A and B are shown apart, each in its own frame.
Chain A
Amino acid sequence: MSAQRIGRLVWVGWVFRLKEMSRSGLFVFTSIIEPLIFATLTYYLFTAGSKPGTVLYSALGAGMMGIWSTTLFASGGAIQWQRWQGTLELLVAAPPPFLLVVFPLTLGSATIGIYSLTATLLWERLLYGLPFDPVHPLLFAISVPSLILGLGTLGLVIASGFVLYRNANALSNMLEFPVWLVTGVIVPLSLLPGWASKIGWVLSPTWGFRAVRNSVFGGPVWPSIGMCLGLSLVYVFVAGYFTGIFERRARERATLSLT
């Protein structure tokens, strides 16, 4: 495929995904209401706490938690919904590589996550008067898309499992809290056991979250952006490898249309 056709496929898939998700009540809940619930919860948790300076940290963390929830739920759902609607077989049978068909779906999911971040920050600004003044506004504007790309490609890896396993959505639902934990989005990694924080090192959101946080509160941003993008590239290869295997097995077992 030419670069132009790949670009067109990703663009059309991305736009279509955004339109499709905006019509799902369940998805609208996940991207709109759930982040506000966690923003409220973390606000009261940290204001009740005895440690100063943690409220702003948690406010930003709650916004980024929302991006992960949105990505996780919608990336997994990207395949599952196609299966339920009976279109998964058509997508697999289409001429372009299946990975290229799925990538804009997961990228679209992660893009919606920007709303979660914005809504959370606005919610905490308007209701609780928490200021949002990034130390490096330009780097913040760069680090957020990097985080989205990192999440989108991680979503691609997760989505590949859905091709083969019908009940993989239960597994993806289970991943929401653990990833929040090991990526340090709301709890500093120094509080976790050493082995747990090491898991976070190979997850692109860890570096994406760190880049966003450092751009807001100060600290080195570029190394984290570099790690996030580097891991994203690795995820694309991993997802490509697994998608090929899972797609073939699903064809052999004739499970693509099973719900």
Chain B
Amino acid sequence: MTGARIFFVGGLLSYRALFNWLSPWIFVPTFLIAPIFQILLFVYIGRSAGVASDKFYVVGNALQYAAIPCIFAMSNTIAGERFQQTLGFVLATPAARLPLFVGRSLPVILNGIAVCAFAFVVGGAIVGIDVPSSAVGPLALTIAVSAASCTGLGLLIAAVGLRVRETAVLNNIVFGVLLVFTGANVPLSDLPGWMSFLAQGMPLTHGIEAARRLADGASLSSVAGLIGAEAAVGAAYLVLGYALLRFMEWQSRRLATLESV
């Protein structure tokens, strides 16, 4: 019961307290307007370059933009403790670490799903793409799995944030790498072999591919493998992130780096 309370209530409280983009003055421009402009930019670049259809960019960028809430929010909800000088108190509690850290990811995943779905629907409506109604449910599932997978990467970055101060820089680099590598804007087949190979181990790559096929009318069963691969990648990052968090916690106690900002 205590573990469940830490997971749900603690996760929500930390999200509300530490994710400093929750003000409407920041949330609306960052999460609702910026992704629409990202979609429009790449739709027009795509038209200019003659690479792919508008739907290709709407789907790719809507899902890729989940990286903003999932990575930034996840790292902020843990690295933010350091800036508030509360990290020492959090780590001094006897609370089980799994619900303490992983519980913080749940509100982030929901945030990512909401941002992604909004960008998909509004961006798609502005550009005028057609998505079969039968694809709505499977697309929602794909978006949820992709957001969760990306949050796993966010947890890994959050762990690094226990040691590195400039997490904002790291977040921006990761966002840029995902923009290039995941096939959000350039088909994987058009990237060099080493880039498309690396993309297989990155969150969002398989989710974007699955979402594109679903939006083109494919059935859920035909993309189950891709969604499973996305979930597996996310799970791997989650495990890695949790392990690194524990390691960094131990390291920061040993080196007394918890309070350095």
Contacts and interface: CB of A to CB of B under 8 A. Distances in A.
Interface in A186-221: 186-188, 191-192
A166 to B, nearest CB: 8
Given A25-B169, A33-B172, A41-B180, 10 more contacts: A37-B179, A44-B180, A44-B190, A45-B49, A48-B51, A174-B30, A174-B33, A187-B41, A187-B44, A191-B48
Contact of B180 (A37, A181, A186, A188): A37
B186 interface: yes
Q: Is the interface of B mostly helix, strand, loop or mixed?
A: helix
Interface in B41-85: 41, 44-51
Contact of B190 (A33, A47, A58, A174): A47
A30 B169 CA distance: 8
B50 A174 contact: no
Given A41-B179, A181-B41, A46 B30 contact: no
Contacts of B30: 170, 173-174
Interface in B143-177: 166, 168-169, 172-173, 176-177
B34 A177 contact: yes
Contacts of B21: 170
Contacts of A51: 48-50
Interface of B: 21, 23, 25-26, 29-30, 33-34, 37-38, 40-41, 44-51, 166, 168-169, 172-173, 176-177, 179-180, 185-187, 190-191
A44 B186 contact: yes
A33 B34 contact: no
Interface in A82-101: none
B44 A33 contact: no
Contact of A48 (B173, B180, B187): B187
A72 B253 CA distance: 40
Contacts of B45: 42, 45, 186-187
A16 to B, nearest CB: 22
Contacts of B29: 170-171, 173-174
Interface string A18-60: 0000000110111001100110111011111111001000100
B34 A173 contact: yes
Interface residues of A, number: 37
Given A41-B185, A45-B185, A170-B29, A29 B34 contact: no
Given A181-B40, A192-B44, A45 B51 contact: yes
Contacts of A180: 41
Nearest to A181: B41
Contacts of A28: 169
Contact of B172 (A29, A45, A46): A29
A178 interface: yes
Given A45-B185, A48-B190, A177-B38, A26 B50 contact: no
B88 to A, nearest CB: 23
B47 A191 contact: yes
A229 to B, nearest CB: 27
A40 B192 CA distance: 11
B48 to A, nearest CB: 5
Contacts of A25: 166, 169
Given A44-B191, A174-B29, A26 B168 contact: yes
Nearest to A167: B25
Contacts of B41: 177, 180-181, 186-187
A192 B41 CA distance: 10
Nearest to A55: B49
A38 B46 CA distance: 14
Contact of A174 (B34, B47, B176, B186): B34
B26 A167 contact: yes
Contacts of B169: 25-26, 28-29
A188 to B, nearest CB: 6
Shortest 10 CB-CB contacts between residues of A and residues of B:
A49-B49, A48-B190, A37-B176, A167-B25, A177-B37, A50-B50, A170-B26, A25-B166, A174-B29, A51-B50
Contact of A187 (B48, B177, B187): B48
Most buried by B among A165, A186, A188: A186
Contacts of A45: 45-46, 49, 51, 185-186
B176 A48 contact: no
Given A49-B49, A167-B23, A191 B44 contact: yes
Contacts of A58: 49
Most buried by A among B29, B41, B45: B45
A167 B33 CA distance: 15
Nearest to B33: A174
A41 B173 contact: no
